[in-house]
Structure 1
């Protein structure tokens, strides 16, 4: 045990600390943090528009009309659907400001243009170009991360090669910086264009399709078994760790199978027959991803009520309401969890534990299976468990999972909290 601790403290921890403090990792962290205020704002209006109480929904529809929810969620769409765009801008700006002689604003503009260049556009009826808004949200986040980092690197390298259009000293700096970016920006966009043309010549057809293309073959073979459920959630969590919206990335492959299993349960339930399936869409949404992907409700509870570091406690208070409604973007991008080695282990272990515990409980008959009712994904735990199974045992199972998730996150949370508190105290002393 002493040797293991020595290895962790002397080798592994310094290595990860070095990695996490590298320019690219800091740029990722700071860039994604820029999206957090918009995510929190969008989460609030999503809760208002999708509050999972039918009486409330009926009352609001009677008061404001049947389209009221869509109108309320205009703000949600405006904030959530620019996540990738904000990320590429923030990452590029954060990356470029680390280099002397580089105007970060110009680098950011080039990266935004490069990001948009990766998106396949359609021609509208009036001849105008239509940009799929979906690629601006978390669906395009992985592309945004790559563009923000590596296009900025290329731009900076070209700038340092003095491939710039120099203006006289009498020209205002804003104008001079814009023209200085002319050649490096053009070359950077040309490189991205070549990559896009190359990808379009393959069966993948577009850059956003690359991830789905490589996932489709293996994931389509996964069935609704315990092993299959573990593989599905493992892939989703790992993708989220790298900034890819895992559920969105594989939903087109997995969801038809899960919905079919849920429909089979509904048919059997109506016929008063034994329910055939444990692994269904509601199994994942209500019993595995409690608080969102990674089962982060337990982690948010710890931050809200037990954090000593001011930053973590404040983030917990901001994240607790969305997390209760299974919206965890504030904590995923606020902590952040993306590319954070300190939290990846419980982020994967908690949903894995939920899968195994719930599957065994349903297999043994201790907890009722999902009956085919699909409560809105924003329905809070306990309530959603009762609705989806038609039995109180569903709510009890969710409560058990929340406690278990909290315990899984606890040790890692304490370690992060101590480290952040120490840094906070040192900063106060220095000030």
Structure 2
């Protein structure tokens, strides 16, 4: 009875609560808005690999063929793609948030949010009298500003639109022109509010909105996240949410990803400047070294099922899942075994990725394994290859192989117990069928 009540509490109370949080419009807008920056990061990473490939013979050959400044020219694309992460984020977040409201033109809302984002950036007057915009605020340094502007300014704009504070054009005016002018008053009021906030902040010792956000939000959160304890907490939350059937990484990406992307971008900047790589905990740290086979580090579990299971059902599930798992897609095993709400497998599902966090962090901290260098291989890149690419060193691939073997060991006892239980049930079913004949 107690077990039944426990299950009812999980399915009727906790799961709906977590689903409601992860599907809230603002969480979805954050997730989808940040995802909009991923293609540019991947493109920039490809050109960074070309320009910074860590083999001296290759670098010397390219310099002889294309000249000493070839790497600088190649990385024009890296600079262009990496240095607009904040701009892409504010546009993506605002567009997706506005789209979730009825009767709102998301493009107009996005334009207002971009203008508000630029309005937060402190500018200087050049010698020729022109404005100088510090482009650093357009890259990962401005992600938190972009996040807050994308949410709050868009909500303010939507609220004003719903108050019907719109400039109505005659019916003869084309719809595209009419919708643009409809945003005139809400857009002007939204920018006026941001302008007032900026004027107020400039009267304080902080001097600028980005300084306020960095001091009160970004720096404290970065210091917590870029630690072993912070990484373990993040991974624990991801695994627990997945156990309840909620995409854990997506659910917390709006809060965590800006910090992880900023850390990755800082590593990329250090690499280009030939300085020491500063950060261990980055987006690629989790995607490539912790989530081997997907969240829960389930590639080890899938290998056990595919090659060592005696139960026909588990072996079949393993063979079906191993292809996607190699490319870090593990929905087949999570919902097929299932792992969701399966108390037999929850412990290794949490322990394996947390062990990966500990071993990888320790190895990188001690200098045994190269840190992630700012290159962002697509999350579907298979292990070993992704480890080498993301660190620029073979030690990254060796680290992944070590973690995979460790994951297999962690899953083994629980896998064997599940396999025996299922095999007995299968044998009893076959015996019942034989008896019925």
State the Cα deviation string for residues 7-39 of structure 1 (Å, max 9, x = none). 433322211111122222222223223223222
TM-score by length of 2: 0.62
- Count of residues in correspondence between the two structures: 338
Correspondent of 2:286 among 294, 299, 304: 294
- Corresponding residue SS for 1:245: helix
State the Cα deviation string for residues 100-124 of structure 1 (Å, max 9, x = none). 3322211111111011111112222
Matched, 1:118 2:120: yes
Matches within 5 A, 1:327-366: 349=354, 352-354=357-359, 358=363
Correspondent of 1:173 among 167, 172, 175: 175
Counterpart position of 2:228: 230
Q: d(CA) in 1 for partners of 2:66 and 2:221?
A: 43
Deviates more, 1:374-383 or 1:2-11: 374-383
TM-score by length of 1: 0.62
Q: d(CA) in 2 for partners of 1:217 and 1:83?
A: 18
Counterpart position of 1:91: 93
**Distance change >3 Å, CA 348–CA 199, structure 1 → 2:** farther
Q: d(CA) in 1 for partners of 2:369 and 2:358?
A: 23
Counterpart position of 1:244: 258
Counterpart position of 1:184: 186
Counterpart position of 2:435: none
Q: d(CA) in 2 for partners of 1:352 and 1:200?
A: 41
Q: d(CA) in 1 for partners of 2:194 and 2:58?
A: 49
Counterpart position of 2:50: 48
**Distance change >3 Å, CA 38–CA 220, structure 1 → 2:** closer
CA contact (8 A) 1:139 1:244 kept: no
Q: d(CA) in 1 for partners of 2:172 and 2:34?
A: 37
**Distance change >3 Å, CA 84–CA 314, structure 1 → 2:** farther
Q: d(CA) in 2 for partners of 1:206 and 1:72?
A: 34
Counterpart position of 1:143: 145
* Structure 1 unaligned regions, length at least 5: 223-227, 257-262, 264-280, 318-344, 363-368, 411-431
- Max radius of gyration: which structure? 2
CA contact (8 A) 2:116 2:194 kept: yes
- CA positional deviation for 1:127: 2.0
Counterpart position of 2:102: 100
Counterpart position of 2:59: 57
Correspondent of 1:162 among 164, 177, 189: 164
Q: d(CA) in 2 for partners of 1:406 and 1:204?
A: 51
